[in-house]
Chains A and B, each alone.
Chain A
Amino acid sequence: MVSSMANALGVIFANTYDNLVPDLVTERSMASIPFGGRYRLIDFVLSSMANSGIDNVSIIVRRNYHSLMDHIGAGREWDLTRKHGGLNIVPPFAERTVKMYSGRVDALDSILNFLRDQKEKYVILSDSCNAFNFDFNKLIEAHVASGADVTMVYNHAVIPEGARSDNYTIKVKDGRVTQLLSNDYRPGEQDLSLNIYIIDRENLIELVRDAAARGLIYFERDILARNLELLNVQAYRYDGYVARIADMKSYFDENMRLLDPAAMAQLFDADNPIYTKIRDDNPTRYLAGSHVKHSVVADGCVLEGTVENCVLFRGCQVRKGAVVKNSVIMQDSVIEDGAEVEYVVADKNVHITAGKKLSGADSFPVFVAKGHTV
C-alpha cells in the first residue's frame, strides 16, 4: 500500500444522539444537520477521513436518512467514488420485520460479513455529532505505537447540558483507560469521550460476534467498560477544535462560535478542506443599503437589510429594512421587508413575513421548523 493511503476503514454512525436534538432531526439524521453556513455535520468526519487517506467508509444509518443520502450521493465530493472501498451506506437490513439497530453492537453485527471481507487492518468508528478537522493518521500512528487493543479519542471539555444523561467520560492512567463512566454529570471540564475508536478489524469482529450472541447492545458499556482489565484500551487526547452538538443550545452556540475568525481558521484548514455537496450558488450579493457585520455568510444570499452576529446558510434573503441579529438562518430562508429577528434558529426554507418580530433569548433561541412561515 502506498504510504498516502491509511490502513484503516471508517465506520460512521449517522443517528447516534438524534434524541438530543429532536427539533433538528424531525426530517433528518444527526449526520445531516446543517452546520457552519454550508456544511452538514457528517462533512467534518467524512472529509477528515478522506483527507487522512481513508477511502473505504461505511455510514450506518438507522432512520430518517433520505436527506443524508441526498447529501452524500455517491460520495464524489469527498473523492470517495472508488472502485474498491469508497462510500457505502448501510441502512437497517429488512428481515421479516425491519429490524432497527438499537446500539453500536447491533449495527456492527449487521455488517460483520462486510467487515470480514475487507483488507484494511484497522477499523475506525466515529459518530457524526462533532464538527472537527481531525487527522486520523495521527490516531492510527498512536494506536500502532502503543500496541493497544482499542484506542479511544477524548478531549478535555465541559459536558454539555444536553449530554448529561448521554455521555462517556474516562479515567486515564499512563495513557491507559482505567475507568469508563456512563452519563457523567460532574460540572467543570472532564475527560469526555469523542466516541471515536480505532480497533484491529479481526478483534472487532470477534468482540461484536461474541457480544451479539449474548444479546449485548452497547459497544462502550457492554464491551469496553466491562473489559478494561482484559483489553488494553488507550486514550488519545485531542486538543484541536471540536464543536460538539448535544442540544439546541450547543447547536446555536457552536454556530455562533464560528463568528470568531480564529475559530474559523482552526476548523477550516486550507491544506485539509472540509468538503460538502456543491450547490452551484452564485456569489452572495450585498445590495446598496445593506449593513452586514460580524457574520458568516454562505454563497447564494441576497442581502439588502441589516445582519449582525449571524450565520447565514446558502441562498438566504434578507430584504430591505429587515433586521436579523444573533441568529442562525438555514438555507433558502427569507426574511422579508421590515421583519425583525433576534436569537432565532430558522431551519431550511423558513419565511419570516414582512414586519413580523420574532425574538428569543441568548439562553433560549427560538426555533422555527423547516418550511414554516411566520
Chain B
Amino acid sequence: MAKEMIAMILAGGQGSRLYALTQKLAKPAVPFGGKYRIIDFPLSNCVNSDIDTVGILTQYQPLVLNEYIGNGQPWDLDRLHGGVHVLPPYQQASGSDWYKGTANAIYQNISFIDRYDPQYVIILSGDQICKQDYSDFLRFHKEKNAEFSVAVMEVPWSEASRFGLMVTDDNDKISEFQEKPKNPKSNLASMGIYIFNWDILKSYLIADEADPNSQNDFGNNIIPNLLKDGRRMYAYRFSGYWKDVGTISSLWQANMEVLDPSHSGIDLFDENWKIYSRNSGQPCQSIGTYAEVSNSMITEGCRVDGDVKDSILFPGVVVEHGATVEGAVVMGGTVIKAGAQVAHCIVAENVLIKEGARVGAMPEGGLNIAEPGDVATVGSGVVIGAGAVVGPKAMVANDVKDGAEQW
C-alpha cells in the first residue's frame, strides 16, 4: 500500500546548549508548555495534516523518547499500516554506523521509507515549536511541480546573516542558497523543513553517501548539490509561529509566550489544531486556601498553596504555602517547599527545592519576554538545600547543600 507522503523527524539532537536540561534526555523529549514535550509538536502537526506514517530518527539518550512515543497511541499513530516508528542507528551486514549527519540518518533508513513507496517525503525537525499544516505545504509543492521545497520564514534583514537563506525569484523558485552569509541577498530563512520527491531524494542520498568528502548534511551537501544540478526547487513561505528552542532563554521565552496566545502567535488552546501528548494519569490540580495564582498555566497532579505568577507548572508540581513562583517554568514532579522563592528560571523534572531556598531572581524592571536576559536553570533530580541560593545566571546540574550559594 503506497503512501502519498510520509514524515521523517530528525530527533537525534543532543541539545547541548540546553545544558542541565538535556543531561539525561534528547532535546526533542524536553518538556514544554505545561504538559507537552517538544516532539509533540511535529507529531501532532503530522496527524492534524493527515500524515499517518512517521519515522523518528534518534541516537542521543533515546530512552525517555522511546518510552514516551511507545506505540504512538496518544497521537493516534498506532496504525495497522504505517504509524510511528522510532529509528535508532542499527547494525547492518556491512557494519554499523552512528548517524553521521542529517542526510546520513535518512540514508540509513532508505529501506524503511521504501516499504511505504511514498511519492513525497517531508523532513521535519524534532526540536522546534511550530504549528504548521503540512498538507498546505504539500499542495504548494505539487502546484509548483517542485522536486524539492523548503519552508521559509521572513526574518528581519538585520538578523538575516544568522540563518541559512533562500534567494528566490518572483515565482518562489530558489536560485541560490546562502548559509549564514555576511551580505544576505534574501531574508527568507530556512526552517529546516523540507519536502522531497522520494525518487529524487533517494538518488541524491545514495550519491552523497558515495562522496567521501561529504558531511552528509542536508544544508551543507544535499541542498547545494540539488542547486548545482538545476533541480526544480521552491521556497514555501510560512508565517505562523515557529521557534527553535535551542537555548535556555529561547526555551523560557517560548514557554512564556504560551501564556499570552493573543499576542505571541502560539495558541495551544486551538480546538482545530490540538497538540496531543501522553497523559500523566494524575488527578486534578488542587488549589489551596492560601494560593494566589495569576497569569499562569497549571495542570494535572499539581498542588498549589503558595503564590504563582506568570509561570507554567507541569504535572505533579507542588508549591507549598508561603513559597513564591514567578516567571518560572517548573517541570513535572518538582516540589517547592514552604518559604522558597523561585523566579525567572527553568526548573527541570523531579527537583526538590527546600525551605527558604532562592532560585533565580526577577530582573530589574520585571518580566520582559522579548529580552529575557538571564534565566537560571536547575537540572532534573537536583536537590536545592534549605536556605540555599541559586543565582540568576546559574546552571545547576548537581545538588546544592543547605545554605550554600551557587552563582
Contact = CB atoms under 8 A, between A and B. Distances in A.
Contacts of A294: 287-289
B295 A286 contact: yes
Nearest to B312: A283
A290 B282 contact: no
Contacts of B312: 283
Interface string B20-41: 0000000000000111000000
A270 B301 CA distance: 10
Given A286-B294, A286-B295, A261 B284 contact: no
A186 B231 CA distance: 88
Interface residues of B, number: 35
A295 B277 contact: no
Given A76-B73, A278-B74, A286 B35 contact: no
Interface in A36-51: 36-38
B403 interface: no
A51 to B, nearest CB: 11
Given A37-B283, A288-B294, A292-B293, A282 B288 contact: no
A25 to B, nearest CB: 23
B284 A296 contact: yes
Nearest to A308: B289
Interface string B293-328: 111111110010000100011000000000000000
B298 A286 contact: yes
A295 B287 contact: yes
Contact of B294 (A270, A283, A289, A295): A289
Nearest to A307: B287
A119 interface: no
Given A282-B34, A282-B269, A288-B295, A298 B284 contact: yes
Interface residues of A, number: 34
Nearest to B269: A282
A297 interface: yes
Given A37-B283, A76-B73, A294-B289, A280 B296 contact: no
A290 B304 CA distance: 15
Nearest to A282: B268
B284 A38 contact: yes
Given A37-B283, A38-B284, A293 B291 contact: yes
Contact of A293 (B275, B288, B308): B288
Contact of A273 (B269, B276, B282): B282
Interface string A99-117: 0000000000000000000
A96 to B, nearest CB: 39
A11 B204 CA distance: 60
Given A36-B284, A290-B293, A284 B73 contact: no
B329 to A, nearest CB: 12
A289 B287 CA distance: 16
Interface in B250-298: 259, 268-269, 274-277, 279, 281-289, 291, 293-298
A274 interface: yes
Nearest to B35: A283
B389 to A, nearest CB: 28
B303 to A, nearest CB: 6
A127 interface: no
A275 interface: yes
B35 A299 contact: yes
A275 B300 CA distance: 13
Contact of B299 (A270, A274, A295, A299): A299
A87 to B, nearest CB: 16
Contact of B296 (A273, A282, A286): A286
Contacts of B313: 283
Given A36-B284, A286-B295, A296-B286, 5 more contacts: A36-B283, A267-B283, A283-B299, A285-B296, A286-B298
Pick the 6 closest A-B CB pairs, nearest first.
Answer: A283-B34, A37-B284, A283-B299, A268-B283, A283-B297, A286-B293
Interface of A: 36-38, 76, 259, 261, 264, 267-268, 270, 273-275, 278, 280, 282-290, 292-299, 302, 311
8 contacts: A280-B274, A283-B35, A285-B297, A290-B294, A293-B291, A295-B287, A297-B285, A297-B298
